[in-house]
Amino acid sequence: MQHPLTATDERTAEPPAAAAPLLEIDSLHTRFDTADGEVRAVDGVSLTVRAGRTLCVVGESGCGKSIMARSVLQLVEPPGKIVSGSIRWNHGESGPVDTTALEPDGEQIRRIRGNEIGMVFQEPMASLSPMYTIGAQLTEAILLHRDVTPDEARQIGIDLLTQVGIPQPEGRFDAYPFQLSGGMCQRVMIAIALSCDPALLIADEPTTALDVTTQARILDLLKDLQRHNGMAMMFITHDLGVVAEIADDVTVMYLGQAVEHGTVEQIFTTPKHPYTQALLGSLPTLEDTTHRRPLTAIRGMVPHPQNRPTGCPFWTRCDAAIGGVCDVEEPPESPFDNGHRAACHRYSHPDGGGSVPLPAPAVRGHATDRSGRGQAEGAPVLEVRNLTKQYTVSGGMFRRNKGTVHAVSDVSLTIRPGETLGLVGESGCGKTTLGRSIARLVDASSGEVLFRDRDGTQVDLAALRGAALRRYRTRVRVIFQDPFSSLNPRMTVEQIVGEPLRANGMARGSTLTDQVAEMLRKVGIQPEYMSRYPHAFSGGQRQRLNIARALITEPELVIADEPVSALDVSVRAQILNLLSDLQDELGLTYLFISHDLSVVEHVSDRVAVMYMGRIIEEGPADALFGAPQHPYTQALLDAVPIPDPFARPERSSTVPDELPDPMNPPAGCSFHTRCTFADSDHGCSTTLPALTRVDEDHDAACHRSSDLTLQGITRTREIPEAS
């Protein structure tokens, strides 16, 4: 696999060996002694972080990334224990030390923590104590390691808050964490981690819990800070887009082991390990193609460390596995050019052949031609007219109304038969409420939900109740987000999947069993598992059950609310493929809700973008992503990390990450507080822009859509040719 270099970066141009190793982890083993046996969470990881460079550690959840990171600072809580291996820290004031040899919570390790190595965690809000102001927690960190007076510490603290981009730092200094947004809290955490000028910053999925726009700002911030103070970073993530955006070096982890090391270019252009290759293949990417490329899913899922296969940990899911070798011996590391290394028998074993055989071309026979997308024929299945849902927020012990939130505001939508309408927006913008109002899981405050019955008449679902409504519940179905809470743990698969049939008297007895079996087969679950309970299934399998339940009534419209957000990348690809297969097979119409633009782009024919309860842009996927007409859509597109290190974005003007208070939406265009194009001459802060037609089948709600030219996805990536 060759990749034409489309860009060069002066940092990555220098050979990696040039920088001195700062942190060297050598065959680290961290284990948990649990009641159910020993869990080998980290099982022989070796890796190196070099001074001034960013190492990304990537892998699906449960691969031991967090435990590895915590082991560095001896932060693993009992029953977890580092059992062997060494972690050399070469920056110690008193020369290199092995942090595993230090007394836990002793003087020495505490001098390293926070002072020489800073750490940032995944849950910013929960990582700050709610009982103290952020200023108190920040100064505390400063006073711990620096010899300054409390007054000086306060000044340093305020400077730090300014540095991490917190507006009005003096005022925020005395705020409590719960008064700030998640993004702001993460900035505070970064300020705390940076307070003593560490040589290394360990960031464990620091942006996973945040919205894309916020994520983009935090990534930019980290890159900026690094450029300023030259610290090294160990950045843990499961998102290859983020890796491509921020990494210099990459370590790929699988099941407690490091399976591949290389520079970011090496990993993305010539991935060696089958797991790395598969991860890259399973990514939906934002790209300007007219063909819906099926994702190359990895089969199965990451096994629990207690069921670690013998031999190569990946062999149970590997298509290149060599029988009798991979399932027996652990593969040694093979070196490639410039420090690129991978642990795979294909390169080291005599029978390996020195390369990984390529899978069959990953194009399905019926891959949809999307050149004509957005042109779905026929009368709309669903027409939503002026749908509004407001919630009264009451608070305090007196339950007085504190205000109203318009979760959905005057939304109108049309979905035509057989198409997929994608609905995107940041969290809290009202996507789920809209979906649930259509499915009548919440009652809309006003507006119509017109569903086209089989005889062509339109029925207003919003006005139905009781038995009349229940009849339509078999026609409009929902796939829920959370594969765990959406299946009743107290019912068997047969009862869960058969419930819609039973509740509506559509089948019973053996007919019902047969129908459930048939449906399970369709979603790729063996019908023999019918009498099992949900706890016997993995996340991906549960999502298949969820799909089976939704589709068993042969619905016309399916509302899929973030159906893959809770899943790992490899499993996500399986589910996305399944959904599009089923759509083709059963002629389904989808309303596909997601916060992930690349997923939406991958599945949708048309896309609607929501902001603060309103649809601000709607149009064919190509047009909307290629030539957006609303600054917010452009901001979202800018923020999406693209899994291509050669297409690192130069975000000159990112939107601020503070959302307005939904109880007091800004006057005029609700986006004007964050919009870089806001202009009072156009009435941005005074007049609400209406959703107007800007192009064929393309609407936008922006006063300036006619005089702005937005570039859409500017970063194009050429797919490596499968040769």
Ligand X SMILES: Nc1ncnc2c1ncn2[C@@H]1O[C@H](COP(=O)(O)OP(=O)(O)O)[C@@H](O)[C@H]1O
Residues that bind ligand SF4 (CB under 6 A): 273-274, 312, 314-315, 318, 320-322, 326, 331, 344-346, 630-631, 669, 671-672, 675, 677-678, 682, 684, 689, 702-704
Question: Six-digit token pair at 65?
Answer: 């990334």
300 binds, among other proteins, ligand X, Mg ion, none (CB under 5 to 8 A by kind): other proteins
Question: Of these, 7, 463, 536, 667, which contacts other proteins (CB under 8 A)?
Answer: 536
The contact mask relative to other proteins for 503-532 (x = CB under 8 A, - = no) is xx-------------x--xxxxxx--x-xx
Q: Tell me which H or E stretch contains 692.
A: strand 692-695
Is residue 98 a contact point for other proteins (CB under 8 A)?
no
- Return phi, psi of residue 136, to 5°: -60, -40
3-state helix, strand, coil in the chain (%, to 5): 30, 20, 45
Q: Are strands 420-424 and 446-452 parallel, antiparallel or unpaired?
A: unpaired
Contact 644, 629 (CB under 8 A): no
The contact mask relative to other proteins for 560-579 (x = CB under 8 A, - = no) is -----------x--x--xx-
Question: Of these, 22, 41, 236, 297, which contacts other proteins (CB under 8 A)?
Answer: 297
The end-to-end CA distance of the chain, in Å, is 8
User: Minimum Å distance from CB 280 to ligand X?
Assistant: 18
Contact 450, 440 (CB under 8 A): no
Is residue 291 a contact point for other proteins (CB under 8 A)?
no
64 binds, among Mg ion, other proteins, ligand X, none (CB under 5 to 8 A by kind): ligand X
User: Minimum Å distance from CB 612 to other proteins?
Assistant: 24
Q: How far apart are CA 416 and CA 259, in angstroms?
A: 46
Question: Six-digit token pair at 426?
Answer: 């940041």
91 binds, among Mg ion, ligand X, other proteins, none (CB under 5 to 8 A by kind): none
User: Minimum Å distance from CB 97 to other proteins?
Assistant: 15
672 binds, among other proteins, Mg ion, ligand SF4, none (CB under 5 to 8 A by kind): ligand SF4
20 binds, among Mg ion, ligand SF4, other proteins, none (CB under 5 to 8 A by kind): none
The nearer residue to other proteins, 61 or 577, going by C-beta atoms, is 577
| Peptide bond just before 79 cis, omega within 30 deg | yes
The nearer residue to Mg ion, 82 or 493, going by C-beta atoms, is 82
Helices and strands, counts by H and E, the chain: 21, 24
684 binds, among ligand SF4, other proteins, ligand X, none (CB under 5 to 8 A by kind): ligand SF4
Q: How far apart are CA 458 and CA 390, in angstroms?
A: 25
User: Minimum Å distance from CB 43 to ligand X?
Assistant: 10
Number of residues that bind other proteins (CB under 8 A): 114
User: Minimum Å distance from CB 341 to ligand X?
Assistant: 20
Tell how far CA 153 is from the center of its chain: 37
161 binds, among other proteins, ligand SF4, ligand X, none (CB under 5 to 8 A by kind): none
Stretch that binds other proteins, among 7-15, 111-119, 261-269, 656-664 (CB under 8 A): 111-119
Question: Of these, 146, 364, 385, 651, which contacts other proteins (CB under 8 A)?
Answer: 364
Which residues here bind ligand X, judged by CB under 6 A?
32, 34, 39, 41, 59, 61-67, 80, 304-305
User: Minimum Å distance from CB 270 to ligand X?
Assistant: 24
Is residue 585 a contact point for other proteins (CB under 8 A)?
yes
- Return phi, psi of residue 488, to 5°: -65, 115
Question: Of these, 83, 362, 464, 708, which contacts other proteins (CB under 8 A)?
Answer: 362
For residue 207, which of 232, 230, 227, 190 has the smallest C-alpha distance?
A: 190
The nearer residue to ligand X, 304 or 502, going by C-beta atoms, is 304
Is residue 470 a contact point for other proteins (CB under 8 A)?
yes
DSSP H helices, 201-295, are 212-229, 240-246, 264-269, 274-281
Output 98-105 pairs: Cβ under 8 A, ≥24 positions apart: 99/72, 99/73, 99/74, 100/28, 100/71, 100/74, 102/74, 104/74, 105/74
Contact 500, 506 (CB under 8 A): yes
Q: How far apart are CA 2 and CA 268, in angstroms?
A: 10
The burial class, CB within 10 Å (0-12 / 13-18 / 19+), for 377 is exposed
The nearer residue to ligand X, 28 or 507, going by C-beta atoms, is 28
Contacts to other proteins from residues 49-78, by CB under 8 A: 70, 73, 75, 77
631 binds, among Mg ion, ligand SF4, other proteins, none (CB under 5 to 8 A by kind): ligand SF4
Provide the β-strand partners of residue 335. Answer: 341
32 binds, among ligand X, Mg ion, other proteins, none (CB under 5 to 8 A by kind): ligand X
183 to 106, 116, 188, 660: CA distances (angstroms): 33, 24, 9, 14
Which residues here bind Mg ion, judged by CB under 5 A?
66
